[in-house]
Amino acid sequence: MSQISRRGLLKTGAAASVLAATGLPAKAAPKRGGRLRAALSGANTSDSWDGRTHSDLFMIASASGCVFDCLTETAADGTLVGELAESWEASADAKTWTFNLRQGVTFHNGKSFGADDVIESLQMHTAEGAKSAAKPIVSAITDMKKLGEHQVQFTLAAGNADFPFLLSDYHILMFPAGQIEEAIANGIGTGLYSVVSFDPGVRFVGKRVESHYKGDTAGYFDEIEYIAVNDNTARMNALMTGQVDAVNRIDFKVEALLKANPAVRIQEVTGNQHYTFPMLTKIAPFDNVHVRQALKYGINRQELVDKILLGHGQVGNDTPIGPANPYYAGDMEQLAYDPDKAKFHLNAAGLDSLDIDLSASNAAFEGAVDAAQLYQASAAAGGININVVQEPADGYWSNVWLKKPFCASYWSGRATEDWMFSTAYEAGVPWNDSQWEHPRFQELLLSARAELDTTKRREQYREMQEILRVEGGVLVPMFANYVQAVSNTVASPDVVGNLWQMDNARMAERWWVA
Amino acid sequence: MGSVTRIILQRLALGLLTLFIVSIVIFIAVNLLPGDFAEAILGQGATPEAVASIREGLGLDKPPITRYFDWLGGAIQGDLGSSFAQANFASFTGSDAASGTTVAEQIAPRFKNTLFLAGVTAAIAVPVSIFLGVLAALYRNSIFDRATNILTLSSISSPDFFLAYVLILFLSVLNPLLPSLSNIYDGMDFSERLVKSLLPALTLTLAVTAQMMRMTRAAIINLLASPYIEMARLKGISPMRVIVTHALPNALAPIITVIALNLAYLITGVVVVEVVFVYPGIGQLFVDSVKIRDIPVVQACCLIFAAAYILLNLSADVLSILSNPRLRHPK
């Protein structure tokens, strides 16, 4: 599959249907039938079928993973395939995109799917007063034209080679035009499973749609039951006692017990999820690049991976681009713990020692306060005196993040470089949590975005990662693995998606009864 | 009987006053928590505009006193308001908080589940504790008495979640007899529902048995020194019969009070047990709602908890009066 270049896939989605048809190599052929029962965390009483509000696993797995479809889909191996779009084509400047939609697709209420549904579903994100996490993606579209019942043309404000990737975002679900309110209330999509019952924060049950356009290559279970279990121990118990077939986010403390159970296997993938310490680079002393470099050498990344993630992760190199990204520069020189270099850079900044506050709370990530304390201890050897300020978990994202000069944070990562950079590293964007503004970086960001030549793009993204590694204002000490456990009653493909937990939240589609 | 009616009315009036005070305390307490619904629901995406627009849609931008009296006005008329959580705050056309689920709709199914669990627990716990209490009184100071005391006292002294995990370990993991996940739902048949609720019910039974059993034992033993019991013994009645037909009816008042208190606990104290067993009752809804600052639901839950206490205490008092002829027919 690696012979097909990513560029080829992007320019013409024609190969996508071939990819989808071949499926993934598997030990035993998947078979239809049975029920998948999974205990998932991240559920809330405020959950609904409104894709714009989805932020955690339970609804992502239920909505984009079962009931709804997007235009495109990221396959388990990271390639982009068509979901409701069959193929797509870009103009040379990557500004105009024409999408050919799949024909003969119907919503669960019988309405047939077409260009109007696409246009109205995208407009949801920019509607006045709507709070959509995908607003930046959709507001970059200046014009949507219906060329035919099954063809839509998008015109973008600026060229973006990643545009088809952006449309695989789990927020951008396709709703039936004219019935969106009803579809949000009852969960009416085009997905493999229709809603049997949904109780927010408690349970979702879905039934396989007969004669679905994905045919026999996906959606092997007859029925799906997702049970909301936010409590770690209860989730592990449910799997150990065989009441569910799969659980997400295993508790590392009981990992050994799960491993000792022959009926259970652990799935672990390294994706783009990373834990960070962003500093506001427009505020002293973080505006001094030598101070930032001193801080980079003062942190013991390996120790954090070993003690905070208990080994379930990978050291970071101060860039948000992870192994699940296509242009990940894994061969850059690794930043290592070196108190002497930290001292050297402090001196270069004209300082003997540095006293700073680091705000942390476990709301940022599990173990953030411990991580800050470990950092405090390792940085002291380099003359950096960190005062760890423990912040309340409530209101952390509104009162501390983006406001305190140096704090703990996390990102689940994005499928493409441009998506990640334009979310948190582009000059002036609201989530730029390091106030990052770098002329060369910004220039590269804009030119790489519209670049359709893979080789040139790779060079540009490499240089951007190098800039962040050396000068960037965000410490990315570690990438945290997605670790989940699956009972042997359920089979999964050899390659499991690493963009998001539970096979990119699509286990209902890709797994089958063993 | 006139005096009983008067007492009931008096107590009901006091109960309403208590509920009013509870509602104020809850409102203040929830407002003291950092963060609000808008911030909790938006998480990392809490941009000032988004927060402001949700707050406006839900009326959270009004001063607290106005919000409290708006809510109180509705509550008096039986309208507990709309749940923030299911308010359609991101509707297609923009903010429209009015179209959400009402608090009553959200709480009703959960409260039904909690009552079911309380019912199952009471059906096990009350007969068992009275039976054990009678036996302990009968064989007082024997090995049996001491063993029952030690067992019930140690179970009441352990935290609920610990008891829950011990039961899961023995009845679910080591011997797969009962499910550790009590995810009951509408449309489940009664027997399956019962099986799924059994582990949480047993946990709660362990948590409430000690008080009821020890009160039964103490109340009976207290009476055994009375002259009329001695008379009964002299008549040659068997010890069991002395206790069950002569002592127990006279010991009912304190026993009923303790049972009522424990029943109230089964409604208000189940939060931890519901979370451990993933039981979709009011306790879990309460925890979820506090987490996202869904104030209308939190307040309604608290009022239900307070009302349960007040009503059960009231019925305990009434039953004690009715079971005591001296109180039933005052001079």
Say which residue the tokens 């680079």 belong to: A281
Say which residue the tokens 């140096």 belong to: A406
Contact residues on chain B for A409, CB-CB shorter than 8 A: 44
A392 close to B (CB below 8 A): yes
B54 lies in the same domain as B164: no
Task: Using the predicted structure, report yes or no on whether residue B34 has a pLDDT greater than 80.
Answer: no
Q: Cβ of B47 and A231 within 8 Å? A: no
Q: What is the pLDDT of residue B321?
A: 80
Question: Tokens at residue A178, please?
Answer: 């004219």
B200 lies in the same domain as B230: yes
Strands A482-487 and A264-269: antiparallel
Cα B175 from chain centroid (whole Å): 30
A181 close to B (CB below 8 A): yes
Q: Is A96 helix (H, G, I), strand (E, B) or coil?
A: strand
Beta bridge partners of A40: A228
B251 lies in the same domain as B280: yes
B86 lies in the same domain as B221: no
Residue B124 lies in a domain: yes
Whole-angstrom distance, CA of residue B156 vs CA of residue B269: 13
- pLDDT bracket for residue B87 (50, 70, 90): low
Residue type present at position A331: D
Cα A312 from chain centroid (whole Å): 18
A445 in Cβ contact with A291 (< 8 Å): no
B4 in Cβ contact with B280 (< 8 Å): no
B164 lies in the same domain as B97: no
Question: Tokens at residue B234, please?
Answer: 């002299």
Domain boundary among B85, B101, B117: B101
Question: Tokens at residue B184, please?
Answer: 């009951």
The residue length of chain B stands at 331
Whole-angstrom distance, CA of residue B149 vs CA of residue B171: 23
Q: What is the pLDDT of residue A195?
A: 96
Whole-angstrom distance, CA of residue A438 vs CA of residue A459: 18
In A321-475, alpha helices (H):
339-348, 368-380, 396-399, 417-424, 439-449, 454-471
A243: nearest CB among B42, B46, B181: B181
A146 in Cβ contact with A152 (< 8 Å): yes
Indicate if the alpha-carbon torsion angle A210, A212, A216, A221 is positive or negative.
negative
B21 lies in the same domain as B145: no
Helix (H) or strand (E) holding A98: strand A96-101
B277: nearest CB among A180, A234, A409: A234
Q: What is the pLDDT of residue B43?
A: 67
Which one of A226, A359, A398 makes the best mutation probe of the B interface by having the most chain B beta carbons within 10 Å? A398
- pLDDT bracket for residue B96 (50, 70, 90): very low
Which residues numbered 104-163 in A keep a CB inside 8 Å of some CB on B?
A: 124, 127-133
Contact residues on chain A for B40, CB-CB shorter than 8 A: 394-395
Q: Cβ of B92 and A233 within 8 Å? A: no
B229 lies in the same domain as B271: yes
B46: nearest CB among A39, A237, A397: A397
Mean pLDDT of B163-184: 89
Residue B299 lies in a domain: no
A355 in Cβ contact with A387 (< 8 Å): yes
Q: Cβ of B180 and A244 within 8 Å? A: no
Task: Using the predicted structure, report yes or no on whether residue B48 has a pLDDT greater than 90.
Answer: no
B91 lies in the same domain as B230: no
A173 in Cβ contact with A60 (< 8 Å): no
Q: Cβ of B179 and A45 within 8 Å? A: no
Q: What is the pLDDT of residue A17?
A: 42
Shortest Cα distance, chain A CAs vs residue B196, angstroms: 11
Domains identified in chain B, total number: 2
Largest CA distance in chain B: 85
Encode pLDDT of B108-160 as tens digits.
Answer: 999 999 999 999 999 999 999 999 999 999 898 899 999 999 999 999 899 99
Residue B313 lies in a domain: no
Contact residues on chain A for B165, CB-CB shorter than 8 A: 233
Residue B234 lies in a domain: yes
Q: What is the pLDDT of residue A27?
A: 55
Structural domains of chain A, ranges and CATH numbers in brackets = 6-251+483-513 (3.40.190.10), 274-480 (3.10.105.10)
Residue type present at position B162: F
Mean pLDDT of B217-222: 91
Q: What is the pLDDT of residue A299?
A: 95
Whole-angstrom distance, CA of residue A368 vs CA of residue A393: 11
A68 in Cβ contact with A256 (< 8 Å): no
Question: Tokens at residue A170, please?
Answer: 């789990």
Strands A72-74 and A80-82: antiparallel
Whole-angstrom distance, CA of residue A74 vs CA of residue A325: 11
Residue B300 lies in a domain: no
B136 lies in the same domain as B273: yes
Question: Tokens at residue B140, please?
Answer: 């007082």
**At a CB cut-off of 8 Å and minimum separation 6, what does A464 contact?**
A319, A417, A421, A441, A444, A445, A448
Interface A-B: count of C-beta contacts within 8 A: 140
**At a CB cut-off of 8 Å and minimum separation 6, what does B83 contact?**
A45, B100, B101, B102, B103, B106, B289, B294, B296, B297
Running DSSP on this structure, what letter comes out for residue B45? G
Whole-angstrom distance, CA of residue A8 vs CA of residue A6: 5
B79 lies in the same domain as B128: no
Predicted complex ipTM exceeds 0.95? no
Per-position DSSP letters for B54-104, written without gaps between them: HHHHHTTTS-HHHHHHHHHHHHHTT---B-STTS-TTBTTB--GGGS-BHH
pLDDT top residue among A412 and B1: A412
Q: What is the pLDDT of residue A227?
A: 95
**At a CB cut-off of 8 Å and minimum separation 6, what does A22 contact?**
none
Q: What is the pLDDT of residue A9?
A: 44
Domain boundary among B75, B101, B127: B101
Residue B197: half-sphere exposure toward Cβ, Cα within 13 Å? 26
For the whole prediction, is pTM greater than 0.90?
A: no
Mean pLDDT of B280-288: 89
If you measure CA to CA, which chain B residue comes closest to A40? B278
Which residues numbered 187-206 in A keep a CB inside 8 Å of some CB on B?
A: 197, 199-203
CA dihedral B232, B234, B239, B240 (to 10 degrees): -30
Q: What is the pLDDT of residue B88?
A: 55
**At a CB cut-off of 8 Å and minimum separation 6, what does B25 contact?**
none
A52 close to B (CB below 8 A): yes
Q: What is the pLDDT of residue A1?
A: 35
Q: b/e map of A226-255 (b: 16 or more CB within 10 Å)? A: bbbbbbbbbbbbbbbbbbbbbbbbbbbebb
Indicate if the alpha-carbon torsion angle A359, A361, A367, A370 is positive or negative.
positive
If you measure CA to CA, which chain B residue comes closest to A257? B173
Contact residues on chain B for A397, CB-CB shorter than 8 A: 39, 42-46
The residue length of chain A stands at 514
If you measure CA to CA, which chain A residue comes closest to B33? A394
Whole-angstrom distance, CA of residue A101 vs CA of residue A86: 5
Domain that holds residue B241: 109-291
A247 close to B (CB below 8 A): no
Compute the radius of gyration of chain B from its Cα atoms. Answer: 24
B19 in Cβ contact with B306 (< 8 Å): yes
Question: Tokens at residue A108, please?
Answer: 């669960």
Whole-angstrom distance, CA of residue B38 vs CA of residue A211: 42
B117 lies in the same domain as B29: no
Mean pLDDT of B315-329: 79
Helix (H) or strand (E) holding B143: helix B143-157
A178 close to B (CB below 8 A): no
Which residues numbered 340-379 in A keep a CB inside 8 Å of some CB on B?
A: none
Cα B63 from chain centroid (whole Å): 33
B128 lies in the same domain as B49: no
Mean pLDDT, chain B, rounded, equals 85
Running DSSP on this structure, what letter comes out for residue A510? H
What CATH number did the domain enclosing B193 receive?
A: 1.10.3720.10
Percent of chain B at pLDDT exceeding 70: 92
Encode pLDDT of B234-274 as tens digits.
Answer: 999 998 888 888 888 888 888 988 999 899 889 888 888 99
| Per-run averaged pLDDT (10 residues), chain A, 514 residues | 43 43 55 93 87 89 95 90 94 93 94 94 85 84 94 93 92 93 91 94 93 90 94 88 92 85 91 93 92 95 93 94 90 93 93 93 89 95 94 80 91 89 88 92 93 92 95 94 93 90 93 92
Contact residues on chain B for A133, CB-CB shorter than 8 A: 45
Q: Cβ of B84 and A240 within 8 Å? A: no
